[in-house]
């Protein structure tokens, strides 16, 4: 898909990118703007950086609420809460629209206006307080509080997560190493080298010779709850869910979480990265004159769903004595890694 951008003016390419992707359009758009601006030596102002961070944060909140209110319940046989998700989406769309002006290449400062993400966060906390977030964020302090919350709270989310915990308790712990954070040094060094010489890197990335897991669990690996669950449990499924709850709770408190960056590799050539709901999204833009000469995208799904990646090795380790149990475990595993597209499961008999 990135090939369609080659030959376009950088400003046009940045405008096109968000239209190409459904649920991560803002993150993709911000990554494209950062890569192209860095390649053409444009430094964005603080107000632009803040509005873009709000867009990325609001998009992450949207994705997490979709998982928590629809996908996780369905993976354990419940209906989900479409009404609450629709209400939350109404709020989130206000925040996204208010910061939309910051999406393009070198956005025009005369149209800037304040982002509504702060107000929307407060409204979301009220909307989600009773049914979903009861007991949070205190329950996310450590495993003792978390397990007590799972056992006693009225929160619908806790009941769903408790079922994930029960099913995943029977699953093994193979996993792949976690992807370290992208830094300017890593991007300008090893990442740039791989993008230059490895034709397979965008479609099947690995790091230090091994496929890696990206996403909330990798980002929150040092968080006390996530670290403790990872150490003590036989499967990474529950730590992945807990890491998303940690990030959602932080997003809904006033904490800034967006992690974005960019760095020049050489004149006219730059890499940008955005931590999205599913993990790190990498864009690399090479601009000659005003036009895109090369464009590369490494999406988070390519790490987690790599042919030898987290999903593959954990699927291989799944054992079940009957088809129903196997299907349930596969659904939990896939949902814990969060593919960005519809998936289906076919079982062959060896």
Partner 1 sequence: MCLAIPARVVELLPGDMARVDVGGVRRDCSLALVDGIGVGDFVVLHVGYAIQRLDPEEADRTLALFAEAGLVT
Q: Catalog residues that contact partner 1 under the rule CB under 8 A.
A: 1, 3-4, 16, 19-25, 82, 85-86, 89, 297, 299, 301, 340-342
Minimum distance, C-beta of residue 301 to partner 1, in the bound complex (Å): 7
Using the structure block, give the residue that is written with the tokens 């091994």.
210
Minimum distance, C-beta of residue 157 to partner 1, in the bound complex (Å): 19
Residue nearer to partner 1 on the CB measure, 86 or 129:
86
Residue nearer to partner 1 on the CB measure, 209 or 344:
344
Residue nearer to partner 1 on the CB measure, 293 or 317:
293
* Number of CB atoms found within 10 A of residue 242's CB: 27
Minimum distance, C-beta of residue 28 to partner 1, in the bound complex (Å): 8
| Helical (H) or strand (E) element with 131 | none
- Which of 68, 279, 308, 318 lies closest to 168, judged by CA? 318
| Helical (H) or strand (E) element with 281 | strand 279-288
Q: What is the DSSP letter of 70?
A: I
Using the structure block, give the residue that is written with the tokens 């909330």.
216
Distance separating alpha carbons of residues 28 and 306, to the nearest angstrom: 20
Residue nearer to partner 1 on the CB measure, 82 or 183:
82
* Structural contact between residues 5 and 13, judged by C-beta atoms closer than 8 angstroms: yes
Residue nearer to partner 1 on the CB measure, 86 or 138:
86
Question: 155 in helix, strand or coil?
Answer: coil
- Which of 172, 141, 159, 166 lies closest to 72, judged by CA? 159
Q: What is the DSSP letter of 278?
A: T
Minimum distance, C-beta of residue 132 to partner 1, in the bound complex (Å): 17
Residue nearer to partner 1 on the CB measure, 64 or 149:
64
Minimum distance, C-beta of residue 231 to partner 1, in the bound complex (Å): 33
Minimum distance, C-beta of residue 70 to partner 1, in the bound complex (Å): 9
Residue nearer to partner 1 on the CB measure, 225 or 299:
299
Listing from the earlier edge strand, what are the strands of the sheet with 260-266? 260-266, 269-276, 279-288, 291-298
DSSP-H helix ranges across 99-142: 117-129
Minimum distance, C-beta of residue 222 to partner 1, in the bound complex (Å): 29
């Amino acid at each position: 898909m990135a090939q369609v951008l080659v030959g376009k003016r950088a400003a046009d390419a940045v405008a096109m990118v968000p239209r190409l992707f459904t649920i991560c359009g803002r993150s993709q758009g911000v990554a494209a703007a950062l890569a192209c601006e860095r390649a053409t030596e444009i430094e964005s102002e603080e107000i632009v950086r803040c509005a873009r961070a709000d867009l990325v944060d609001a998009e992450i909140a949207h994705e997490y609420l979709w998982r928590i209110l629809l996908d996780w319940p369905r993976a354990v046989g419940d209906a989900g809460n479409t009404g609450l998700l629709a209400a939350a989406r109404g709020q989130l769309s206000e925040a996204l629209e208010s910061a939309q002006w910051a999406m393009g290449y070198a956005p025009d400062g005369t149209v800037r206006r304040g982002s509504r993400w702060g107000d929307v966060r407060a409204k979301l906390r009220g909307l989600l307080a009773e049914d979903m977030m009861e007991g949070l964020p205190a329950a996310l302090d450590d495993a003792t509080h978390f397990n007590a919350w799972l056992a006693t709270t009225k929160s619908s989310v806790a009941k769903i997560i408790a079922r994930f915990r029960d099913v995943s308790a029977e699953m093994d712990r193979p996993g792949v190493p976690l992807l370290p954070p992208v830094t300017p040094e890593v991007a300008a060094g090893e990442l740039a080298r791989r993008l230059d010489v490895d034709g397979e890197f965008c479609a099947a990335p690995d790091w230090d010779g091994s496929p890696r897991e990206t996403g909330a669990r990798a980002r929150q690996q040092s968080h006390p709850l996530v670290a403790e669950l990872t150490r003590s449990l036989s499967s990474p499924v529950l730590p992945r869910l807990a890491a998303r709850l940690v990030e959602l709770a932080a997003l809904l408190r006033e904490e800034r979480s967006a992690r974005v960056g960019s760095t020049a590799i050489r004149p006219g050539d730059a890499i940008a990265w955005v931590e999205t709901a599913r993990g790190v999204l990498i864009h690399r833009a090479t601009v000659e004159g005003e036009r895109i000469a090369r464009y590369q995208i490494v999406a988070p799904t390519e790490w987690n769903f790599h042919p030898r990646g987290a999903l593959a090795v954990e699927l291989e380790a799944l054992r079940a004595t009957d088809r129903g149990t196997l299907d349930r475990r596969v659904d939990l595993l896939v949902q814990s890694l969060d593919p960005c597209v519809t998936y289906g499961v076919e079982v062959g008999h060896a």
